[in-house]
Amino acid sequence: MTQNSPNLELPFLQPSQAQKHVTHNEALRRLDIVVQLRLQQTGASVPPAQAQEGDIHGLGTGATGAWAGQDGMLAAWLDAAWHFVAPQTGWRAWDMAGDQMVIWDGTGWTALQPELDELDRIGIGTSADATNRLAVQAPATLLSHAGQGHQLKVNKASGADTASLLFQSGWTGHAEMGLAGQNAFSVRVSDDGSNWTEALRLDGATGHATGSAVQADVADATPGRLLKTGAFGLGETGATTQIPDIDATDTPAGAYRYISTTPGADSFPDALENAYGVIRIERSNAGQLRQTVWRNNFEHGIWTRTHFSGAWGSWRQVYDQTTILGTVSEAGGQPTGAVIERGTTAQGDYVRFADGTQICTRFFSTAASSHAWSFPAAFISAASISLQAMARHATAPRLVTESGDLSATGVTLKVWNAAGTAASAPAHVTATGRWF
């Protein structure tokens, strides 16, 4: 029979042994050292100056003093002396200095790493349950990289399931983002945790956005919504949205197209009616706006009008270098055509202005005592005409007067010499008046 146990090396009592209490006490002493093992420190090499009864140290390498030659041993201070026990591989102890469980691996004491695979649940700062098997209660949770990037993965079993992040307040859900019952990414919100609104959905195939946060159509003016391509004519490469009513005052600012049958088209000037074109709306506030219109297949011509004090103003043409010259016209005393009109006929030259002014000129190169002149463009009346004439002669001055038959369409001129006798001479004449 051996004298010591195989694992803890406890001394056995032997038959007919004298002073058996000594052997028994030695076994108890050894049990007191290794059972429920607590170490003051691990890796120790210098004995403490003041040791307490029952203190046990896990020695490292290079032990000195009373520990010299005992590297790797357990050093226990008992009965004012150091007692040494060799630890066995797998022995566990509580490291009081490191505040952790350690294990002897055959060469040194290392922190005990628990087996974390296939755990039923983990609660950090709180209790986990059957549904929330990982629960964390803390001011923050950090997920960091291990040298490069980092991904947080939320996986679901099938397309009809949910893989999302739910944001709660007082345990009531108010926002959720992820794959909620489908494979398109969505963001939805709730005021009460029961009724949910899908604010945004991103299609997995196209990446296009839909949802209550996006316009229902390109004319949707609901406040707070994201604009679609083509909204109110912005970014459109094809036909813009047709304006519902040209005379409406609540149409949102933007660019629209119109056709000849669009409501309100009968308010257009003649150049815009029975045509297709684009109308642009600009606003300064709810009741003050401006419309600008241009017509398809009409190289020159832009018209504009404003809405102010509850009523639409008249359409007015915008002039540029291509439209300032042309045929001058009017309606009701208001210009409706070009700004300046210039013409030449066999009866001379004329210039008409949009304000109603007209100037006619002619040079009679043949010497005569009477010159009949039909104006190249008619005036509104003879009373509106101011006539200026000058006769040319090489040797003596000549006077040119009208014969008294001035009309809106012409005049007869008389040439006189200094003696008041009819004389022949060329004449230069200018008539200024109004054409309307």
Q: Quote the percentage of the chain above a pLDDT of 90.
A: 66
How far apart CA 407 and CA 412 sit, in angstroms, is 10
**pLDDT (tens digit, 9 = 90+) per residue, 285-311?**
888 999 999 988 777 678 999 999 999
Band of residue 272 on the pLDDT scale cut at 50, 70, 90: confident
Does a structural domain hold residue 272?
yes
Ranges 180-194, 248-262, 323-337: which has the least confidence: 323-337
Q: Which of 111, 127, 162 is the last residue of a domain?
A: 111
pLDDT-based confidence at residue 153 (cuts at 50, 70, 90):
very high
Secondary structure (DSSP) of 337-405: S-SEEEEEETTEEEEEETTSEEEEEEEEEEEESEEEEE-SS--S-GGG-EEEEEE--SSS--EEEE-S-
pTM of structure: 0.58
Whether pLDDT at 392 is above 90 = no
The alpha carbon of 108 is separated from its chain's Cα centroid by a whole number of angstroms, namely: 61
Residue 187 counted as domain residue? no
Domain ends where: 82, 111, 140? 111
pLDDT given at position 7: 56
Residue 30: enclosing H or E segment and its boundaries? helix 20-34
Residue 211: CB atoms within 10 A of its CB come to: 16
* Residue 189 is assigned to a structural domain of this protein: no
Strand partners, 348: 345
Residues 309 and 385 in one domain: no
Q: Does residue 217 lie within any of the structural domains?
A: no
246 and 299 both lie in a single domain: yes
Q: What is the CATH number of the domain that holds 403?
A: 2.60.40.3940
Residue 20: pLDDT band by 50, 70, 90 thresholds?
Answer: low
Q: Would residue 178 count as lying in a domain?
A: no
User: Which range has highest mean pLDDT (32-36, 164-168, 240-244, 260-264)?
Assistant: 164-168
Residues 307 and 362 reside in one and the same domain: no
pLDDT at res. 32: 64
Residues 312 and 348 in one domain: no
Query: For the chain, how many structural domains are there in total?
Result: 3
Domain limits at 412? 342-434
39: part of which helix (H) or strand (E)? strand 38-39
Whether 167 shows a pLDDT value over 90: the answer reads yes
For β-strands 370-374 and 410-416, DSSP reports them as: antiparallel
pLDDT of residue 4: 66
CA distance linking residue 224 with residue 211, whole number of Å: 12
Give the model's confidence band at 236: pLDDT under 50 very low, under 70 low, under 90 confident, else very high.
confident
**Kind and range of the H or E element at 92?**
strand 92-95
- Please name every residue paired with 389 in a beta bridge, in sequence order, or none if there are none: 429
What is the per-residue pLDDT across 72-130, written as a single tens digit (0 to 9) for each? 999 999 889 999 989 999 999 999 999 999 999 999 999 988 778 888 999 999 999 99
In-domain check, residue 148: no
**Average pLDDT, rounded, for the chain:** 90
How confident is the model over 304-313, as pLDDT tens digits?
999 999 999 9
- In-domain check, residue 107: yes
- Token pair of 416, please? 């006189």
Q: Which of 46, 77, 111 is the last residue of a domain?
A: 111
pLDDT at position 5 is 58
Q: Are 360 and 423 contained in the same domain?
A: yes
- Write down the pLDDT at residue 359: 98
Helix (H, G, I), strand (E, B) or coil at 366: strand
Q: Does residue 52 lie within any of the structural domains?
A: yes
DSSP H stretches of helix in 73-172? none
Distances in Å between the Cα of 288 and the Cα atoms of 78, 167, 221, 274, 311 are: 100, 44, 18, 27, 9
Tell whether 306 and 379 lie within a shared domain.
no
Instruction: Using the structure block, give the residue that is written with the tokens 């001129």.
Output: 413
